[in-house]
Amino acid sequence: MKILVAIKQVPSRDSQLKVSSSGRWMEDADLSAEINEPDAYALEEALQLKEKHGGEVVALCAGPARASQTIREALAKGADRAVHVEEEDLGRFDLLGVAQLLAKAAAEVKPDLILTGLQSDDLGYGQTGVILAELLGLPHSTIIMQVEKTEAGIRVKRELEDGWFQHMTMPLPAVLTIQSGINKLRYATLMGIKKAKTKEVKQLSADGLGVTAAPKVSLERVYMPQRAKQTTLLPGTAKEQAAKLAEILKFEVRVL
């Protein structure tokens, strides 16, 4: 089974964020980067499926040249080869545009199964996998907690609300978005890091794939949350004040 895993490079979670002069994104000159954590769980699931059933795991990443670091990490963990859609200014593509880049690249790989993370840590739209499936005309399912290979295709376990789960059978090829925490993430071994240097990384470009930036959605402004202090005096007796405070915490602050 050939499994394609879409991964993304995002700013590290401990990075000190500063809004850029344009006001549209963060200053990224001094930011450290890492693999998007939800995508790391998708990669881990792909590697475990390969270990059980054989086949090949291909990592797919769209991003600037520095994203090669994240690609090499995926290869070091066990991916067999990778495809890098190199685009220095990925921000000029909206969500649909990025999905189109991935769809064009995925069509060349012709995988049996495509896995993505549930969402990205930087933008958090949670729609890339769904749009990718639509563009490729493939069945898809989201928030996947378990994947089992069957003779007819796959059987998946989805997480629903309030502790409920849903089990579904699906044909292949298909697209799944993997829930974070589905497995314990592995570390790259020293041998894996050495082997990663010799594994194939195919270079593609937006122009070569025939995808042009024609965004229908644009990010106009990002800003840090405003901090403000406010004091509210509650009148009445201690009992009345306690009742009013409980009401505020329950219906306004929503912590109860």
* Tens-place pLDDT, residues 90-106: 888 999 999 999 999 99
Instruction: Please check whether residue 230 lies inside any domain of the structure.
Output: no
* Tens-place pLDDT, residues 127-183: 999 999 999 999 999 999 999 999 999 999 999 988 899 999 999 999 999 999 999
**Which helix (H) or strand (E) covers residue 243, if one does?**
helix 238-251
Q: Model's pTM, two decimal places?
A: 0.84
Largest CA distance in the chain: 75
Instruction: Please check whether residue 163 lies inside any domain of the structure.
Output: yes
pLDDT given at position 101: 96
Instruction: Please check whether residue 255 lies inside any domain of the structure.
Output: no
Could you give the CA distance from residue 184 to residue 144 in angstroms, rounded to a whole number?
A: 15
Instruction: Please check whether residue 10 lies inside any domain of the structure.
Output: yes
Name the domain count of the chain. 1
What ranges in the chain are assigned the alpha helix state H?
A: 37-53, 68-77, 95-109, 128-136, 190-196, 206-209, 238-251
Instruction: Please check whether residue 223 lies inside any domain of the structure.
Output: no
The answer for 76, left when phi > 0, alpha when psi is -120 to 50, beta otherwise, is: alpha
pLDDT given at position 106: 97
CA–CA distances in Å: residue 126 to residues 14, 131, 190: 22, 10, 33
Fill in the amino acid letter for 131.
I
Pairing state between β 165-170 and 154-159: antiparallel
Instruction: Please check whether residue 252 lies inside any domain of the structure.
Output: no
Q: Which residue has the tokens 């405003």?
A: 226
Could you give the CA distance from residue 204 to residue 89 in angstroms, rounded to a whole number?
A: 14
* Tens-place pLDDT, residues 2-54: 999 999 999 888 878 888 888 877 887 777 889 999 999 999 999 999 999 99
Instruction: Please check whether residue 228 lies inside any domain of the structure.
Output: no
CATH of the domain at 180: 3.40.50.620
- For residue 173, is the peptide bond before it cis, meaning its omega torsion is within 30 degrees of 0? yes
Q: What b/e readout covers 168-181, taking b as 16+ CB neighbours within 10 angstroms?
A: eebeebbbbbbbbe
Quote the domain boundaries for residue 41: 2-209
Instruction: Please check whether residue 232 lies inside any domain of the structure.
Output: no
